[in-house]
Every structure is written in C-alpha cells, then in structure tokens.
C-alpha cells in the first residue's frame, strides 16, 4: 500500500477516535447547556411575571392617594397624578412584556386567558378611578371609592394563577435555585398582602368610618398569612457570599420597615376602628409605600442573584461545548496539516526521487525537479547526485572504450603502408576461404593487380624506395576506384579491387585504366630517380561457373597468372582465358 494511503488511513483512524471521544463527552455538556438555557428562560419568565404582579400592586399606592386626596396629603395633586401615571406606565410595560412571553401560545391557552382577564380587570379599575377623579373629593361616595379600590385589588388577584404557573415552572426547571425562587415568591406575596391590607384601610381612613366586620375578618386573615410566611425569610442571607452584602442590608430594611413599621401601623389603625384614626388615608399610604417598595427591592435582588447564577452555569456549559468543538476542529485541522506536510516533505520528494532514478536508468542525465528540504531528503538527493556522477563516468568510460574499439577495429582492417583496406578486411566480406565456401552475391567482380618485377626495385633501390612505389601505386588505384567498388592491399606488392554491379566489359575497362595509371607515368623516387613501374592484372566475375568467393579468387588469380606468363603489363580476364 502507498505511504500516502497509509498516512490517510492513520489520520482517519485518529479522527475517528477523536470524534468517538467527543461524541461520548459532548452530548452530556450539550444537554447541560440546553437545560441551563431552559433554566435561564424559566427564571427570566418568572422574574417578569413577578414584576408584572408588583407593578399592578404598586399602581394602587398612587391611585389610593389620588382618590383620597385629603388635607394632610402635603403634596400637590399634579405630582400625585403624575406618580399614578408613571405607575400605570410601569404596569403596562410589565404586562406588555408578559404578553410577549405568552403571545406564542395558542389563544385558548390558560395563561393567555389569565393575562387577558388581568388586563381587562385592570382597565376596568382604572376607568373607575378616572371616573371618580372627574368629581371633587367631597362628591365621591365611599361606596364608589371602595368599588374602584376593590377592582384594582381584583385585577392583581387575576394575575395569581399566572404567577403560580410560572412559579411551578421555575421550581421545576431550576431546582438548584428553588430556595431563591421560593423566597422571591414569598416576598411578592408579602408585598401584595401588605398592599392589599393598606388598600382596605383607604376608605375608612378617608371617610373616616369604622372598618366593616367582614373586612376586618379579611384583614385578620391577611395578617395571619403575613405572620405565617414571615419566618420563611431568613434573618441573614448567605453572609459568605460577598456580592450579597446588599441583600443583607435590604433584608434588614424590610425587617425594620415592613415588619416593624407598616404592620404595627396597620394593626394600630385597625384597632382604632370606630374611634378616631391617627392618620388620614393619603398620609398612611405615603408611609406604607416605601416599606412595600423595600419588599420589591429585596425580591428583585434575589431574582438577580438567581439569574446571575443560572447564566453563569449556562455560560460554563456553553464554554465546555465550544471548547470540545474547537478541540475537535483543531484536531481535524492539525491532521490535515500533518497529511499535507507528509505529502510535501516525504511522499512527493520520494516520488520525484523515484522518477529521477528511472530517468537515470533510461540514460537521461538531466537533473529532475526536486522537492523537500529535510536533512533526510537532502541526503537522498546527495545520493542521487553521486549516482548521476557515477553514471556520467560510466558512460564516459563506455564511450571511450567504444572509440578505442572502433579505432582498433579500423586499424585491424587498414594497411598501415598504403592506407587501403587490408586482406583481413577483404576476408570480412568473403569469409574464411579455407572453410565452407560462401556463395557469391549477384554482380560481384574482382580485379587482382600484381606489380611487375618488384623484387628488383627493392634489391636495387632499397626497401624505402620499394615502399614509396607501393604507396604511389596504391594512390593511383584509389583515384580510380570509388564506391560501391573497394580497393584492398591483398599482400606484398599485390592489390585487389572488389567491384559490385559491373559487367565483364566494364570490369576490364576499369582494370585497363588502372594498368595505364600505373604504367603511363614513371614514379619519382628520392634523389629524383624516375622508375618505370608496370603491373599485371587478372579480372574475374561471378557467373554460372564462378559461384563462390573462392571460385572468384581462383579465377582472378588464374587470369593474373596468365597475364604474368604472357609477358606482364597486361590484363587477362577469366572469361577470355
């Protein structure tokens, strides 16, 4: 298997393991993240419904002041009316936000219905109040006043099922925040019960008049509830938690304000029913409102604390999910980079080196393109260079050897004295005449030339002059013999011309020309001696009786013999003999 494929398989295996581990760990964190997101949502919804409840409760305070408008109010009507308008805005905003939450639910859903009836009830209460405000305080009947106040209390009551429902959801979604969720609910209830008790005193204090027995009963019951849930608020709240010093302070304010001021004040006023009240309605409301706001403030702090906690958990879970995802992604990128690096640094250089080796083996000595710069790859390239140099040297040597061999071969076939091909070269063509006869190919002819009376030249003029005569005779023969005919020095003072494609007549003409070329001009020897040289020639051609090289040689030799015998300086053809 290829290295690259093996690397890819290894990377895929590692990736599989990484994905497996992530697949094992990630769902847990993902679920935790989803759960914490649901917790955040449930707590935020719960905080909104509590705010809506508080806002609707809080609208009663300024409304009560506006409605009562007694002499000791100490504040101009306009500023109190503006305060009521702000309270209405706050309630509208809170209900609108809540409406946004339940808007997605189907119209017949319980929550939507409860919210709608709250809003309707609140609108009725406001309409009653606005109607009463059209009259002077002295023209407002106690019953109309009481009805308007009761309508506002009723509007807040309409919201209770919605608060219960979001409370249940928050308790279920964020069980680890159950203590805080419950505490916020307790504070919200205290705020409403306290406000409701106060509102029930407005008409008696405004009129002034005794509190009706039925209302006294309701007041006693509400007072009982408040008493009951008072102990659910711890005296000190999580003192180890440094960012909640505020909570502790506000908690102390609530204890001082609501439990030790508002409640005793209500108790006193209820006890004064039937006699004269120590306070009028507006003054009473102004005293009580800050204590009720303290309860709201404490509740908000609790909810903020819970939201911070669940948001922190959600952020932690999201960070874990992102971290695992990023690790997986990073690992994938790392593996890809590793594969690419392996391809660039190892596989590609190896394949290119392989191609270079193949090229060298095929005799291509050019340097092929290379890749990679690691020490190992550089060592491989060095080895390739060594191989190339060795190859170049080997080829150089082989070339020189071939040259030498060609030169030796040339020398072996050349006659050193005359430069003509020698007898050995002739035998390369005719074959070994002493062995199996070799058949003549068509058109072959042979002229044998023997210098006449050469021995006396040697004897009289010396071998140096003899050699010169032989070179001159060879030179004259060469001038007349051209391809496809070839001249040889056959031995001693004897020459041979192997012809191809000549008729006997053409052979004889050539032979006669050669004879004339030798005989017609004297040869000048050193010392300006002039030597008359002649030669005898025997001519033969392949025919029906001359079939082999040996036959041809014998026929030419016999003709030459006769030329000598007949007086020399002549030619004799085998056909004429």
Ligand X SMILES: Nc1nc2c(ncn2[C@@H]2O[C@H](COP(=O)(O)OP(=O)(O)OP(=O)(O)O)[C@@H](O)[C@H]2O)c(=O)[nH]1
CA atoms within 13 A on the CB side of 122: 26
Is residue 283 within 8 A of residue 168, CB to CB? The reply is: no
Neighbouring C-beta atoms of residue 35, cutoff 10 Å: 16
Backbone angles phi, psi at 239, to 5 degrees: -65, -20
Opening angle at CA 468, ends 463 and 470, nearest 5: 90
Got the DSSP string for 296-313?
HHHHHHHHHHHHHHHHHH
**CB closer to ligand X out of 216 and 458:** 458
Measure the CA–CA gap between 229 and 514, rounded to whole angstroms: 152
Supply the minimum distance, in Å, between the C-beta of residue 482 and ligand X: 25
Residue 294, C-beta contacts closer than 8 angstroms, at least 6 positions apart? 250, 253, 254, 257, 258
**H/E element, 160:** helix 160-173
**CB closer to ligand X out of 233 and 537:** 537
**CB closer to ligand X out of 34 and 424:** 424
Is residue 476 within 8 A of residue 536, CB to CB? The reply is: no
**CB closer to ligand X out of 56 and 563:** 563
Supply the minimum distance, in Å, between the C-beta of residue 469 and ligand X: 8
Measure the CA–CA gap between 539 and 576, rounded to whole angstroms: 10
**CB closer to ligand X out of 309 and 458:** 458
CA atoms within 13 A on the CB side of 319: 6
Supply the minimum distance, in Å, between the C-beta of residue 421 and ligand X: 16
Supply the minimum distance, in Å, between the C-beta of residue 559 and ligand X: 15
**CB closer to ligand X out of 282 and 473:** 473
Supply the minimum distance, in Å, between the C-beta of residue 466 and ligand X: 2
**H/E element, 82:** helix 77-102
**CB closer to ligand X out of 119 and 418:** 418
Is residue 499 within 8 A of residue 516, CB to CB? The reply is: no
Got the DSSP string for 216-278?
HHHHHHHHHHHHHHHTTS-SS--TT-GGGHHHHHHHHHHIIIIIIIIHHHHHHHHHTTTS--S
Supply the minimum distance, in Å, between the C-beta of residue 522 and ligand X: 17
**CB closer to ligand X out of 61 and 466:** 466
CA distances from 345 to 5, 149, 386, 448 (A): 15, 87, 22, 76
**CB closer to ligand X out of 169 and 450:** 450
CA distances from 529 to 463, 464, 467, 520, 569 (A): 15, 13, 15, 16, 21
Residue given tokens 């308008």 in the structure block:
85
Supply the minimum distance, in Å, between the C-beta of residue 462 and ligand X: 8
DSSP 495: E
- Closest residue to ligand X in the complex (CB): 466
Supply the minimum distance, in Å, between the C-beta of residue 533 and ligand X: 10
Strands (E), 414-493: 444-451, 486-491
Supply the minimum distance, in Å, between the C-beta of residue 515 and ligand X: 14
**H/E element, 286:** helix 281-342
| Residue numbers at the binding site for ligand X (CB under 6 A) | 417, 450-455, 458, 463, 466-467, 470, 492-493, 564
Supply the minimum distance, in Å, between the C-beta of residue 520 and ligand X: 19
Supply the minimum distance, in Å, between the C-beta of residue 523 and ligand X: 13
Helix (H, G, I), strand (E, B) or coil at 442: coil
**CB closer to ligand X out of 211 and 563:** 563
Helix (H, G, I), strand (E, B) or coil at 136: coil
**CB closer to ligand X out of 270 and 563:** 563
**CB closer to ligand X out of 339 and 417:** 417
Supply the minimum distance, in Å, between the C-beta of residue 388 and ligand X: 51
Supply the minimum distance, in Å, between the C-beta of residue 494 and ligand X: 8
Identify which of 443, 446, 472, 467 has the alpha carbon closest to the alpha carbon of residue 457. Answer: 467
**CB closer to ligand X out of 292 and 451:** 451
Opening angle at CA 110, ends 109 and 116, nearest 5: 95
């Amino acid at each position: 298997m290829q290295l690259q494929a093996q690397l890819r398989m290894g990377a895929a295996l590692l990736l599989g393991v990484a994905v497996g581990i992530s697949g094992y760990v990630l769902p847990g964190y993902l679920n935790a993240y989803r759960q914490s997101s649901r917790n955040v949502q449930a707590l935020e919804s719960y905080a909104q419904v509590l705010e809506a409840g508080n806002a609707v409760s809080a609208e009663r305070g300024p409304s009560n002041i506006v409605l009562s408008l007694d002499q000791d109010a100490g504040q101009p009507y306009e500023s109190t009316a503006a305060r009521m308008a702000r309270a209405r805005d706050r309630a509208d905003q809170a209900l609108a936000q809540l409406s946004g939450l339940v808007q997605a639910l189907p119209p017949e859903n319980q929550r939507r219905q409860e919210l709608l009836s709250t809003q309707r009830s609140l609108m009725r209460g406001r309409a009653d109040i606005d109607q009463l405000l059209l009259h002077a305080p002295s023209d407002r009947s106690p019953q109309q006043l009481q009805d308007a106040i009761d309508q506002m209390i009723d509007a807040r009551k309409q919201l209770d099922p919605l608060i219960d429902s979001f409370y249940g959801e928050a308790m279920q979604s964020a069980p680890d925040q159950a203590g805080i969720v419950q505490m916020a609910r307790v504070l919200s209830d205290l705020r409403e019960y306290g406000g409701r008790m106060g509102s029930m005193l407005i008409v008696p204090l405004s009129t002034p008049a005794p509190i009706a027995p039925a209302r006294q009963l309701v007041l006693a019951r509400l007072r009982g509830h408040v008493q009951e849930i008072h102990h659910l608020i711890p005296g000190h709240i999580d003192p180890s938690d440094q960012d909640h010093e505020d909570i502790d302070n506000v908690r102390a304010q609530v204890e001082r304000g609501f439990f030790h001021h508002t409640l005793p004040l209500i108790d006193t006023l209820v006890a004064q029913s039937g006699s004269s009240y120590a306070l009028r309605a507006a003054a009473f409301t102004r005293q009580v409102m800050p204590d009720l706001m303290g309860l709201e403030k404490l509740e908000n702090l609790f909810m903020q604390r819970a939201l911070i906690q669940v948001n922190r958990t959600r952020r932690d879970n999201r960070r874990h999910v992102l971290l695992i995802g990023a690790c997986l992604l990073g690992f994938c990128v790392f593996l890809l980079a590793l594969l690419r690096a392996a391809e660039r640094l190892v596989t590609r250089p190896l394949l290119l080196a392989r191609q270079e080796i193949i090229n060298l083996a095929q005799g291509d000595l050019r340097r092929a393109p290379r890749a990679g710069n690691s020490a190992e790859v550089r060592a491989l390239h060095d080895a390739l260079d060594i191989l190339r140099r060795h190859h170049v040297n080997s080829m150089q040597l082989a070339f020189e050897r071939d040259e030498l061999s060609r030169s030796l071969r040339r020398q072996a076939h050349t006659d050193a004295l005359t430069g003509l091909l020698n007898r050995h070269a002739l035998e390369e063509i005719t074959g070994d005449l002493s062995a199996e006869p070799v058949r003549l190919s068509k058109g072959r002819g042979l002229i044998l030339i023997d210098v006449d009376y050469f021995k006396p030249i040697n004897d009289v003029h010396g071998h140096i002059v003899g050699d010169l005569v032989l070179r001159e005779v060879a030179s004259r023969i060469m001038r007349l013999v051209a391809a496809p005919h070839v001249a040889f020095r056959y031995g001693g003072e004897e020459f041979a011309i192997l012809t191809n494609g000549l008729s006997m007549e053409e052979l004889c003409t050539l032979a006669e020309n050669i004879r004339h070329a030798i005989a017609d001009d004297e040869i000048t020897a050193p010392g300006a001696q002039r030597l008359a040289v002649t030669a005898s020639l025997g001519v033969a051609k392949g025919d029906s009786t001359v079939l082999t090289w040996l036959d041809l040689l014998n026929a030419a030799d016999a003709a030459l013999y006769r030329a000598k015998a007949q007086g020399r300086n002549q030619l004799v053809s085998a056909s004429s003999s």
